[in-house]
Amino acid sequence: MSRAAARSGFIHRRRRGAELVLLLMSLAVGVGGYAAVGLGVDGEVPADIIGYGGWLAALVLACHLVIRWTAPYADPVLLPIVSALNGLGLAMIYRIDQANGGSLAAQQLTWMTVGVVLFIVVLLTLQDHRRLQAFTYTSGLAAIVLLLLPLMPGIGTEIRGARIWISVAGFSFQPGEVAKVLLVIAFAGYLVLHRDALALAGRRLLFIDLPRGRDLGPILGMWLISLGILVFQRDLGSSLLFFGLFLVMLYIATERPGWIVVGALMFLGGAALAYQLFGHVRTRVLVWLDPFGYDSGYQVIQAMYGMAWGGLVGRGWGLGDPMQTPVRESDFIVAALGEELGLTGVIAIILLYALVVERGLRTALVCRDAFGKLVASGLALVLALQVFVIIGGVTKLIPLTGLTTPFLSYGGSSLVANWVIIALLLRISDQARRPLPDFGTHGPGDDSGDDATQVVRMR
């Protein structure tokens, strides 16, 4: 065992063979779901299953080969999980197509191809995730511009009450999906530079050290941005996502519960103000409390009926009636899956998301640099918050918002952005799991002086 290995006490193995086995299992899930839909609807396996399954296999095997070549120590579990989720989403969208004669599944497969191409491009071009730190402020500025684009006349488009889309040359695009990746990079770079000042305590109140007043500028700025998204774009989901992301990353960087207290109070104050001043916010809350009392509660009611009809094990692929659920291919795809796969299927999907988040946070734990720790944490938190907000809204745990379910919902912007997120996590995990070169105790490989965030420390 090398000296570096002796210091760390553990050497990660490449596990590419295990990844290949898991990928084959994920393909069985995706292609099996596609075949089950055909059997349930038409009583026979879809005629194009060889072409569909072959293309799906080609995409994930291409990802696997690129990982073997460019990131051999990357986490072996992430890619198979997202492959299974993507396959399940394609099968469900195909099921909806069978009911209404649409072609959304073919379009979604095209978007998956674009996402995989960008996944490969990221792994090939980004050899070291620390280079992204040089784009801290550029990423932040680009994210703000992207968030403002839907408000511009001429290209901004309002869909289902939310102005979060732009339409250019016949193509619709949701800039917020790209902005969330850029914001993670911007937040991580900023917190690495300023976390020492932000970690200084101010007044102590009820055993909690509150931050100093002079340090409240960043969280106040992010609070105003999230309120702007809520007011001008009417997008409660993105508002929750961006502010929650910054707040949790701030806590991870500083280990100060006071930031959580201040952020929660600011959020509650903003939410109460928005409830009093803006009708669309008030409607969301009232529908959440009593969906049967308002016409706009129709979506939630239909989703609840569908999931209730699915019961514990579901009606079976192709045997339910997801067409009764509005927006079933996008925001309410979990309700449609709950109807056909039951509570058991939904729990299995949530567990897959939990594994993705756990692998992302595990990557943050073993990462050797503070910037990589925060980026990995932020990317994992983006997925966790997005899943919580949308599934919590569909199941009436929290007020309904308009986010997509990662890798499941129909939508090119979301799918492509999420594949890029997985590529970044794999790039960071590759460098985090690589054995350190043995340069001696005080050589370049000595990590004793590396930065660590306040919460996620080196072993």
Write a three-state SS string for the chain: CCHHHHHHCCCCCCCHHHHHHHHHHHHHHHHHHHHHHHHHHHCCCCCCHHHHHHHHHHHHHHHHHHHHHHCCCCCCCHHHHHHHHHHHHHHHHHHHHHHHCCCHHHHHHHHHHHHHHHHHHHHHHCCCHHHHHHHHHHHHHHHHHHHHHHHCCCCEEEECCEEEEEEECCEEECHHHHHHHHHHHHHHHHHHHHHHHHCCEEEEECCEEEECHHHCHHHHHHHHHHHHHHHHCCCHHHHHHHHHHHHHHHHHHHCCHHHHHHHHHHHHHHHHHHHHHCHHHHHHHHHHHCHHHCHHHHHHHHHHHHHHHHCCCCCCCCCCCHHHCCCCCCCCHHHHHHHHHHHHHHHHHHHHHHHHHHHHHHHHHHCCCHHHHHHHHHHHHHHHHHHHHHHHHHCCCCCCCCCCCCCCCCCHHHHHHHHHHHHHHHHHHHHHHCCCCCCCCCCCCCCCCCCCCCCCCCC
pLDDT at 194: 84
Instruction: Answer yes or no: is pLDDT of 445 > 70.
Output: no
Question: What local confidence, expressed as pLDDT, does residue 1 receive?
Answer: 44
Report how far residue 171's alpha carbon sits from residue 151's, in angstroms, rounded to the nearest whole number: 17
Can you tell me the mean pLDDT for 97-122? 92
Q: Which pLDDT score, from 0 to 100, does residue 441 have?
A: 52
Closest CA to 63 of 78, 53, 50: 78
Share of the chain above pLDDT 70, in %: 91
**What's the mean pLDDT when you consider all of the chain?**
86
Predicted local distance difference test score (pLDDT) of residue 77: 95
Residue 150: what pLDDT? 84
- What pLDDT, in 10s, does the model give residues 219-270? 888 888 888 887 777 777 788 888 889 889 988 888 888 888 888 888 888 8
Instruction: Label residue 207 by pLDDT band (50, 70, 90).
Output: low
Q: How far apart are CA 458 and CA 420, in angstroms?
A: 26
Q: What is the mean pLDDT of residues 16-28?
A: 94
* Predicted confidence (pLDDT) at residue 449 exceeds the cutoff of 50: no
Q: What is the pLDDT of residues 355-405, one digit of tens each?
A: 999 999 999 999 989 999 999 999 999 999 999 999 998 998 988 877 889
122-179 residue pLDDT tens: 999 999 999 999 999 999 999 989 988 888 887 777 776 667 778 877 777 888 889 9
For residues 435 and 2, the answer to whether their CB atoms sit within 8 Å is yes
What string of H, E and C letters represents the secondary structure of 29-76? Answer: HHHHHHHHHHHHHHCCCCCCHHHHHHHHHHHHHHHHHHHHHHCCCCCC
What average pLDDT does the segment 109-130 reach? 95
Cα three-residue angle 66-68-72, rounded to 5 degrees: 125
Task: Identify the residue with better confidence: 411 or 137.
Answer: 137
d(CA 427, CA 124) in angstroms, rounded, equals: 10
pLDDT in tens, 265-323: 888 888 888 888 777 778 888 888 988 888 878 888 999 999 999 999 999 888 888 88
- Is the model's pLDDT at 7 over the cut of 60? no
Q: Please give the pLDDT value at position 279.
A: 78
What does pTM read for this prediction? 0.89
Residue 439, pLDDT > 70, answer no
Report the pLDDT value the prediction gives residue 123, as an integer from 0 to 100: 95
